[in-house]
Amino acid sequence: MAETEKMIFPAQLHQTADGGIVVSKLDEMINWARSNSLWPLVFGTSCCAIEMMSAADAKYDWSRFGFEVARATPRQADLIIVAGTIVMKMAPVLKRLYDQMPDPKYVIAMGACTISGGPFFYNTYSVVKGVDHVIPVDVYIPGCPPRPEALLHALITLQEKIKHETYFGKSKETGK
Amino acid sequence: MTNEELKIAVSALFPSVTYDETGEYLTVLISPAELSPLMNGLRSNGDLSFDYLFCLTAVDWKTHLTLVYHLQSKVHRHVLVVKAKITDIANPVIETVSDIWQTANFHEREVYDLFGITFTRHPDMRRILLDESWEGYPLRKNYVDENMIEI
Beta bridge partners of A41: A71, A80
Q: Do B151 and A122 touch (CB under 8 A)?
A: yes
- Neighboring chain A residues of B145 at a CB cutoff of 8 Å: 125
**A94 vs A22 pLDDT, higher one:** A94
Same domain, A65 and A84: yes
Task: Looking at the structure, tell me whether residues A143 and A62 fall in a common domain.
Answer: yes
In angstroms, what separates the C-alpha of A130 from chain B's closest C-alpha?
13
Q: A43 and A14 in one domain?
A: no
Q: Are residues A80 and A25 in the same domain?
A: no
The rounded average pLDDT for each run of 10 residues, N- to C-terminus, in chain B (151 residues) is: 90 91 93 92 91 95 95 93 93 94 94 94 92 90 85 80
CATH number at residue B45: 3.30.460.80
| A43 shares a domain with A32 | no
CA distances from A15 to A3, A4, A7 (A): 16, 18, 19
pLDDT of residue A4: 47
Residues A123, B148: C-beta atoms closer than 8 Å: yes
Interface of A with B (CB under 8 A): 88-89, 121-126, 129
Model pLDDT, residue A12 = 85
The residue among B113, B146, B148, B151 with the most chain A CBs within 10 A of its CB, best to mutate, is B148
Looking at the fold, whether A47 and A123 belong to one and the same domain comes out as: yes
- Distance, CA of A79 to CA of A156 (rounded, Å): 13
What are the respective helix, strand and coil percentages of chain B, to the nearest 5? 25, 25, 50
In a domain, A161, yes or no: no
A91: left (phi over 0), alpha (psi -120 to 50) or beta: alpha
- Residue A6: predicted pLDDT: 45
pLDDT tens by residue, B27-68: 999 999 999 999 999 999 888 999 999 999 999 999 999 999
pLDDT band at A86 (very low <50, low <70, confident <90, very high): very high
Instruction: Give residue B48's domain range.
Output: 3-89
**Does residue A169 lie within any of the structural domains?**
no
Q: Give the pLDDT of residue A169.
A: 59
A75 with A97, same domain: the answer is yes
Q: How many domains does chain A have?
A: 2
Count up the domains in chain B and report the number.
1
Cα B70 to the center of its chain, rounded Å: 8
* pLDDT tens string A131-157: 999 999 999 999 999 999 999 999 999
**What is the DSSP annotation of B44-74?**
H-TTT---EEEEEEEEE-SS-EEEEEEEE-T
Question: With an 8 Å Cβ cutoff, are B149 and A89 in contact?
Answer: no
In a domain, A56, yes or no: yes
Q: A67 with A137, same domain? A: yes
B147: which chain A residues are within 8 Å (Cβ-Cβ)? 125, 129
| Confidence at residue A175, expressed as pLDDT on a 0 to 100 scale | 54
Question: Residue A27's domain spans which residues?
Answer: 1-36
Q: State mean pLDDT over A42-62.
A: 92
Alpha-carbon dihedral angle through residues B48, B50, B54, B55, given to the nearest 10 degrees:
80
Do both A70 and A25 map to the same domain?
Answer: no
Tell me: do A24 and A65 sit in the same domain.
no
* Local confidence band at A10 (pLDDT 50, 70, 90 cut-offs): confident
Whole-number mean pLDDT of chain A? 87
pLDDT of residue A172: 54
Q: How far apart are CA A129 and CA A118, in angstroms?
A: 8
Would you say residue B100 lies in a domain? no
**How far from chain centre, in Å, is Cα B91?**
16
Q: DSSP label at A33? A: H
Work out the angle at residue B64's Cα, subtended by the Cα atoms of residues B62 and B70, and round it to the nearest 5 degrees: 110
Report the CATH number at residue A104: 3.40.50.12280
Around A164, how many Cα atoms within 13 Å sit in the side-chain half-sphere? 9
State residue B28's pLDDT score.
Answer: 94
Q: Identify whether residues A49 and A32 lie together within a single domain.
A: no
Per-chain mean pLDDT for chain B = 92
Cα–Cα distance, A9 to B143 (Å, whole number): 59
Residues A15 and A45 both lie in one domain: no
Reported confidence tier of residue A164, pLDDT bands at 50, 70, 90: confident
pLDDT digit string (tens) for A91-140?
999 999 999 999 889 999 999 999 999 999 998 889 999 999 999 999 99
